[in-house]
């Protein structure tokens, strides 16, 4: 096993190039830099062409709904004159039940075009179902690799549900325990099968989400005659926020504020066998959101196209109990039963709307399907079985891994801000450490300005703090 592991890992770059069809080395320059926009053009498709491809697969053109009852509730809790109108983009109406159908269709379409016989994706989330669905439509084989179980064989109900959905579309699902074997098995399968790497983090996957941002802007203008003031994106690996923001920019909605929202799981290590089942959310949480923001190239391709710091205006956290509460509120007040991922952004939007004026609008840019394993009952029952206490109270007192506090009143739902400058500093530090360097070029500084969405002075201050030499 050890010799096989070393052999496969030593071929990583070769396997990636063969399975994606992109030579990432042509984008590299300086000490740490690469040409991001040139890489994004590797899709070879215009926005209009992507929309046409998605339309043929029944993806996109999802409804934009106003949540009038939740808006009324937010206004009851807000100061006088506050309480923005809340809207939601209902991505659950896509074929596989989430916005990730937009990512999946582009990747699978391109694989078919290039002549690959099948596709492989490493994911425990909705993306697996999206890839499996699109592979079924286009007649390609599909393998999904999941981290599913701890060492005692306990699988989270949400992940098990997603495996069921993948299998329903005809995919072969490999369910693994938590640990480093995921990437090894993923590479090994790519090497053995010669299938296409339908990674979440290729330009194809991110460009697929651009249609969501563009569509959202156009629909909102048609309804309201203006652009939304704020768009809230559930943030995990960063592709959702990156693609949506790029789509909004292509629609020239440049004044719309982009807010990332994650569930606070601070202190739980996602690769830890003991911590894995202490969480009740498998995506949209800080276990992905923070590491991928501060080092996006930890993904399964050499350079990730998901780079949330490039586009994020604000990053906020909500707690598990708040998201469960909003999931139930959406069902019982608005008549929409949806899964937890999009409701992370909804919980944040409900709080943020109370800071905004009544004549402003905030849009939650996705919903996802719900199912037996995603349901509140299954998630909370699993938490209780794993020793987590569930009760009503103030969510600010929630201790991650020990309890889930459902708000005893909706006024207790409050976002908490993350300092983006701390994330920028961590990202730059990781750039140095991962590349094993202590100096950078002036061209690298411009790359950092773009990749961190920060001014020259701020970047120079961070470099001075980290004692990085400029050559």
Percentage of residues of the chain with pLDDT beyond 70? 99
pLDDT band at 292 (very low <50, low <70, confident <90, very high): very high
Per-residue pLDDT tens over the stretch 400-454: 999 999 999 999 999 999 999 999 999 999 999 999 999 999 999 999 999 999 9
Whether pLDDT at 75 is above 60 = yes
The beta strands (E) that lie in 97-238 are given as 118-122, 141-149, 172-177, 196-197, 230-234
Residues comprising the chain, all counted: 471
Q: Which residues contact 84 (CB under 8 A, 6 or more apart)?
A: 71, 74, 229, 230, 352, 353, 356, 357, 358, 360, 361, 362
Whether pLDDT at 290 is above 80 = yes
CB 158 within 8 A of CB 91: no
Report pLDDT for 299: 85
Whether pLDDT at 2 is above 70 = no
Integer Cα distance of 447 and 463 in angstroms: 13
**Between 148 and 78, whose confidence is greater?**
78
Backbone φ, ψ for residue 293 (5° rounding): -70, -40
Integer Cα distance of 264 and 86 in angstroms: 23
Residue 79 DSSP one-character state: P
Give me the mean pLDDT over the 459-471 stretch.
93
Report pLDDT for 71: 98
Per-residue pLDDT tens over the stretch 223-237: 999 999 999 999 999
Give me the mean pLDDT over the 90-110 stretch.
96
Domain annotation for the chain: domains and CATH numbers: 57-96+204-417 (3.40.50.1100), 420-470 (no CATH)
* C-alpha closest to that of 428 among 467, 400, 389: 467
Segment (H or E) for 368: none
And the tokens for 6? Answer: 């070393």
Count Cβ atoms below 10 Å from residue 332 Cβ, excluding itself: 11
SS3 of 24, please?
helix
Integer Cα distance of 395 and 405 in angstroms: 5
Whether pLDDT at 1 is above 60 = no
Per-residue pLDDT tens over the stretch 309-354: 999 999 999 999 999 999 999 999 999 999 999 999 999 999 999 9
pLDDT band at 16 (very low <50, low <70, confident <90, very high): confident
Q: For the chain, give the mean pLDDT.
A: 94
Per-residue pLDDT tens over the stretch 146-189: 988 888 888 889 989 999 999 999 999 999 888 778 888 999 99
Integer Cα distance of 148 and 113 in angstroms: 32
CA angle 192, 195, 196 (to 5 degrees): 140
Integer Cα distance of 375 and 359 in angstroms: 34
Integer Cα distance of 315 and 434 in angstroms: 25
Whether pLDDT at 124 is above 90 = no
And the tokens for 62? Answer: 């999802």
* C-alpha closest to that of 7 among 147, 201, 192: 192
Integer Cα distance of 147 and 132 in angstroms: 17
Integer Cα distance of 95 and 340 in angstroms: 18
Relative to beta strand 64-66, strand 230-234 is unpaired
Whether pLDDT at 389 is above 90 = yes
Q: Which residues contact 205 (CB under 8 A, 6 or more apart)?
A: 103, 104, 106, 107, 198, 199, 239, 243, 305, 306
Give me the mean pLDDT over the 274-302 stretch.
90
pLDDT band at 271 (very low <50, low <70, confident <90, very high): confident
């Amino acid at each position: 096993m050890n010799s096989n592991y070393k052999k496969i890992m030593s071929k990583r770059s070769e396997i990636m190039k063969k399975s994606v069809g992109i030579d990432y080395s042509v984008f590299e320059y300086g000490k740490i830099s690469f040409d991001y926009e040139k890489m994004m053009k590797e899709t070879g498709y215009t926005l209009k062409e992507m929309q046409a491809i998605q339309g043929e697969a029944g993806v996109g053109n999802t409804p934009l709904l106003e949540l009038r009852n939740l808006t009324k509730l937010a206004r009851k809790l807000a100061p006088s004159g506050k309480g923005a109108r809340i809207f939601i983009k209902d991505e659950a109406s896509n074929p596989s039940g989430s916005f990730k159908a937009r990512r999946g269709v582009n990747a699978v379409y391109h694989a078919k075009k290039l002549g690959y016989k099948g596709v492989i994706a490493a994911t425990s989330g909705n993306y697996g179902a999206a890839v499996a669905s699109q592979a079924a439509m286009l007649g390609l084989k599909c393998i999904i690799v999941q981290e599913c179980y701890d060492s005692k064989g306990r699988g989270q109900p949400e992940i098990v549900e997603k495996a069921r959905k993948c299998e329903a579309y005809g995919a072969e699902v490999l369910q693994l325990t938590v640990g480093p074997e995921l990437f090894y098995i993923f590479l090994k399968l790519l090497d053995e099968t010669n299938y296409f790497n339908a990674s979440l983090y290729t330009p194809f996957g991110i460009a697929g989400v651009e249609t969501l941002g563009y569509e959202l802007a156009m629909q909102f203008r048609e309804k309201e005659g203006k652009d939304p003031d704020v768009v809230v994106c559930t943030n995990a690996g960063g592709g959702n926020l990156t693609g949506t923001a790029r789509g909004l920019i292509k629609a020239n909605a440049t004044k719309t504020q982009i807010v990332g929202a994650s569930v606070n799981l601070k202190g739980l290590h996602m690769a830890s066998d003991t911590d894995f089942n202490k969480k009740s959310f498998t995506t949209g949480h800080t276990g992905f959101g923070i590491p991928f923001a501060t080092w996006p190239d930890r993904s399964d391709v050499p350079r990730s196209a998901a780079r949330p710091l490039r586009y994020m205006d604000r990053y906020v956290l909500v707690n598990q109990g708040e998201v469960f509460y909003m999931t139930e509120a959406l069902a019982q007040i608005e008549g929409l039963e949806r899964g937890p991922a999009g409701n992370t952004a909804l919980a944040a939007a409900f709080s943020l709307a109370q800071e905004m004026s009544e004549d402003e609008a905030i849009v939650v840019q996705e919903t996802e399907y719900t199912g037996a394993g995603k349901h509140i009952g299954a998630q909370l029952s699993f938490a209780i079985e794993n020793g987590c206490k569930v009760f009503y109270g103030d969510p600010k007192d929630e201790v991650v891994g020990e309890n889930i506090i459902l708000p005893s009143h909706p006024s207790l739902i409050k976002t908490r801000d993350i300092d983006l400058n701390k994330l920028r500093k961590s990202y730059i530090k990781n750039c140095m450490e991962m590349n094993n360097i202590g100096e950078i070029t002036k061209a690298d500084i411009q790359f950092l300005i773009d990749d961190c969405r920060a001014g020259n002075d701020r970047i120079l201050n961070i470099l001075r703090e980290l004692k990085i030499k400029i050559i």
